A and B are shown apart, each in its own frame.
Chain A
């Protein structure tokens, strides 16, 4: 039984690498898009705020699975043909972006107005205020939900297997298809996902302490 896992290990490792690759792409792309849109939501002109609000509310109201199928099977109807890999990345990124927007809005909203005013009063421009006053403080509030979201992204990436992409989940299913050893392989898979996410949580806790304003 263990032997079969060991035998399949290189194949499973490839799947795991793809899981990490998808997760990384989704996390990085959604962070960039989400922060930009979040800033637009908080500080932008009214039409932009509305656009971001509608995007975020819509996306967050759709099950991620529906989103994945929509992007892969639905978009070709309007002439957008994406490879399964990129369709999956796009769908997961849209989903994550909508969450990052909310984390950012919440984090920035938690900074008292007086902070912006004090930063204005010493003559900082809008960008400088964000860079040196608002974001460093908002970061501390942004981090815990965002890391949570990152672990969600790693777990959610398992859904890409539904488009036939050989990520860890799909690799496990294929090995089970050959060996009929469902239990040990799913346990193995669960442990791998858990290990990644547990490591992320630990890193998060460290970062939170690092960015606390009160020395211990």
Chain B
């Protein structure tokens, strides 16, 4: 049983972070409940990706608190800035899956090998078990026939689907998607989004940074609009991407966005 079955699965409270003198996150708060898909949109430089990277502590943060399933991420306790041990951090990161904009597949391992590495070394599965799980997930993302291919032999869309399979095979509590279609040719975006959609239908909890407005509208339970390092607006898709928007920055952002996407 998790610590707080009723509390939000991901609870971000007043998180701030600065790179030198540049404040990239200013007291950001957001919650993601179990089974929810939350999209983060906003202009580049608004801190979306940094926020996502704080959730699995690829970035440290200066103040505030991030909890997953009631457990403080990165630091021993919310108040202290005492980092967890390397072993603790690794164990916590194993509970959050991450899919990267640039795929970041391991080029020396096959598609199946990419998925099996964490299963074997982190989850302690046998080769046979890990290989079975890899096969299952490759099937789910439509790449059963590519198990033995190296990343260099796959298209961008295929690589990203392996990236997703690698993350979800670990059975994370939450999946973090960082602009996962931004590096893809337009005709390959669809196949990747279809996989994300099917995961959402299965109840996978997801926090995604995206520029795919149509997809965010269709697939998210809530949308968070970030600007200048803070949450400027948040709500259900119909409200955030609707026609009557009171938030001026959001209105400008969407207008600019629509202008550049017809």
Contact = CB atoms under 8 A, between A and B. Distances in A.
Interface of A: 112, 114-115, 117-126, 128, 132-133, 136-137, 211, 213-215
Contacts of B86: 125-126
A121 B96 contact: yes
Interface residues of B, number: 31
9 smallest A-B Cβ distances: which pairs?
A: A123-B94, A122-B118, A118-B104, A114-B104, A121-B98, A123-B122, A125-B90, A213-B107, A123-B93
Given A115-B106, A117-B58, A214-B150, A124 B90 contact: yes
B108 A137 contact: yes
A122 B170 contact: yes
B105 A118 contact: yes
Contacts of A115: 104, 106
Contacts of A122: 93-94, 97, 117-118, 122, 166-167, 170
Interface in B124-165: 150-153
Contact of A121 (B91, B97, B108, B153): B97
Contacts, number: 78
Contacts of B96: 121
25 contacts: A115-B104, A117-B98, A118-B104, A119-B106, A120-B58, A120-B90, A120-B93, A121-B58, A121-B97, A121-B100, A121-B167, A122-B97, A122-B122, A123-B93, A123-B122, A123-B170, A124-B90, A124-B118, A124-B121, A124-B122, A126-B86, A132-B121, A213-B108, A213-B150, A213-B152
B88 to A, nearest CB: 10
A136 B107 CA distance: 10
Given A115-B106, A137-B108, A213-B152, A121 B121 contact: no
Nearest to A118: B104
Nearest to B105: A118
A43 B96 CA distance: 24
A121 B153 CA distance: 23
Nearest to B152: A214
Most buried by A among B58, B87, B121: B121
Contact of B121 (A128, A136, A211, A215): A128
A126 B102 CA distance: 22
Contacts of A119: 106
A117 B166 contact: no
B181 interface: no
B117 A132 contact: yes
Nearest to B53: A117
